[in-house]
Amino acid sequence: MEIVDLFSGNYVVALSPMDGITDAAFRKTQVEIAKPDLVFTEFVSAEGLAHNAVRLFDQLLYSPEERPIIGQIFGKDPDSFYLASIILCHLGFDGVDINMGCPAKKVTQHGAGAALIDRPEVAAKIILATKKGIADYQNNPKIFYKLNLKQKVLDIIERNLKYSNICVETPYMASLPIHPISFSIKTRLGVSEPVVDRWISHLCSFSPDFITLHGRTLKQGYSGLANWDEIAKAAIICHNSNVKILGNGDLTSLNMTREYCAKYDTDGATIGRAAMGNPWIFNNKTASFQEKYQAMLKHARHFTDIFPHRRFDPLRHHFLLYVSGHPNASALRQEIVKLTSIDQLCTLEAAITD
Ligand SMILES: Cc1cc2nc3c(=O)[nH]c(=O)nc-3n(C[C@H](O)[C@H](O)[C@H](O)COP(=O)(O)O)c2cc1C
């Protein structure tokens, strides 16, 4: 389904992008258990993509069942966004999203992420470059071959295309009759204080298909509560400009999500942290520990299949969240932090499911 069509139905409930969390294994597990309306990749550096950083392409792996899927990029250099957006289009993403919300110092100290809220002229150049990349690709998908990417990058792109079941010879776009690629932005309320009137109006002047708004400032990081009254203000600005808006921040159930979308008049919302260890949040189900154990196994299998070269360690963090609330959680935690393989996870089956 095209992204723009998603918005013609009920509230859009999406999985929020989370760096180091929502990788291809996480998302595949998620969509197999309870499919969000939309998913995003973790954010990927536009400059890195433009400078042949082959390792970043692991973050752009996705399986076809995840569609619609949007690739998210961050950075500070408009030319890199132009190139990166063409690469994302060639990889068959249904949309390109710009991160203008990351509060991490390693990102903001370079003027990227949420720091762009205080750099509206640079933000404008980045938006225009990304839109041009998408438009140029849609006009002529063969433009990808004019980027003169290094052979090692073409090879890794071929690997990604195969994983996503896309014919390597025929660009994905060219194989479809009409498939508009969406353009969107994810941002925050402001840097130190909410500046929704100025900032959201600025973004809307470039007519993105939608904006995702996390109801905190950069300065807040993840502290305090998301301010949904500011999201509601932004929703009015967006709707006056014919731009859709997804609210984001502190949603902990599907019912709460729908309630907030109605109350604050957004077109939908994204759910992040509450989906960790709880993929059932998207179908409103309360899972048993038997089901949670099966989800852990599924997640671990997808992870080792997709990233055979990676260490098992990042999975432990997810497993700890799957068993949160378990009557033997503390004993299980001590075992989980030592896990190094699926076989070892299997030895915990009885302890988790009994
Ligand atoms: C570990 C972690 C990584 C994140 N990485 C990204 C990211 O790559 N891109 C992005 O736009 N937001 C990122 N976020 C922000 C989330 O998408 C979301 O806006 C935030 O967690 C608030 O939503 P929540 O309360 O539903 O978790 C990240 C958040 C966390 C906790």
Secondary structure of the chain in HEC code, one letter for each residue: CCHHHHCCCCCEEEECCCCCCCCHHHHHHHHHHCCCCEEEEEEEEHHHHHCCCHHHHHHHCCCHHHCCEEEEEECCCHHHHHHHHHHHHHCCCCEEEEEECCCCHHHHCCCCHHHHHHCHHHHHHHHHHHHHHHHHHHHCHHHHHHHCCCHHHHHHHHHHHHHCCCCCCCCHHHHCCCCCCEEEEEEECECCCECHHHHHHHHHCCCCCEEEEECCCCCCCCCCCCCHHHHHHHHHHHHHCCCEEEEECCCCCHHHHHHHHHHCCCCEEEECHHHCCCHHHHCCCCCCHHHHHHHHHHHHHHHHHHCCCCCCHHHHHHHHHHCCCCCCHHHHHHHHCCCCCHHHHHCCHHHHHC
Contact 269, 246 (CB under 8 A): yes
Give residue 29's pLDDT: 98
Query: Which residue has the CA at smallest separation from atom 22 of ligand 1?
Result: 249
How many A from CA of 271 to the centre of ligand 1? 9
Break the chain into its structural domains and give their ranges: 3-282, 289-353
Give residue 166's pLDDT: 84
| Phi and psi angles of residue 269, each rounded to the nearest 5 degrees, phi first | -155, 160
User: Cα separation of 112 and 75, whole Å?
Assistant: 5
Instruction: List the structure tokens of 214.
Output: 């996390």
Ligand 1 atom, smallest distance to 250 CA: 25
Give residue 180's pLDDT: 86
Instruction: List the structure tokens of 323.
Output: 């068993």
Query: Which residue has the CA at smallest separation from atom 4 of ligand 1?
Result: 18
How many A from CA of 214 to the centre of ligand 1? 9
Ligand 1 atom, smallest distance to 97 CA: 11
Average pLDDT across each block of 10 residues of the chain; the chain has 354 residues. List them in order.
86 98 98 98 98 96 96 98 96 96 97 98 98 95 92 95 83 60 97 98 98 98 98 98 98 98 98 98 96 98 96 95 95 96 96 91
User: Cα separation of 147 and 130, whole Å?
Assistant: 15
What letter represents residue 331's amino acid? Answer: A
Enumerate residues lining ligand 1, CB below 6 A: 16-21, 42-43, 72, 99, 101-102, 186, 214, 248-251, 271-274
Query: Which residue has the CA at smallest separation from atom 26 of ligand 1?
Result: 272
Give residue 171's pLDDT: 59
3-282 CATH, one of 3.40.50.800, 3.30.1540.10, 3.20.20.70, 3.30.70.270: 3.20.20.70
Ligand 1 atom, smallest distance to 271 CA: 26
How many A from CA of 175 to the centre of ligand 1? 33
19-to-22, 165, 185 alpha-carbon distances in Å:
6, 24, 16
Give residue 11's pLDDT: 97
How many A from CA of 272 to the centre of ligand 1? 6
Give residue 165's pLDDT: 87
- Ligand 1, residues 19, 218, 252: which to mutate, most atoms within 8 A of Cβ? 19
How many A from CA of 146 to the centre of ligand 1? 34
Query: Which residue has the CA at smallest separation from atom 19 of ligand 1?
Result: 214
Ligand 1 atom, smallest distance to 214 CA: 19
User: Cα separation of 24 and 326, whole Å?
Assistant: 27
Give residue 2's pLDDT: 81
How many A from CA of 2 to the centre of ligand 1? 24
User: Cα separation of 16 and 41, whole Å?
Assistant: 9
Give residue 169's pLDDT: 73
Provide CB contacts within 8 A for 325, sequence distance 6+: none
How many A from CA of 16 to the centre of ligand 1? 6
How many A from CA of 3 to the centre of ligand 1? 21
Which contacts qualify for 340-345: CB closer than 8 Å, 24 or more apart?
Answer: 340/311, 340/312, 340/313, 341/312, 342/297, 342/300, 342/301, 342/304, 345/296, 345/297, 345/300, 345/319
Q: What is the pTM of this model?
A: 0.96
Question: What residues does 187 pair with on adjacent strands?
Answer: 100, 213
Ligand 1 atom, smallest distance to 99 CA: 11
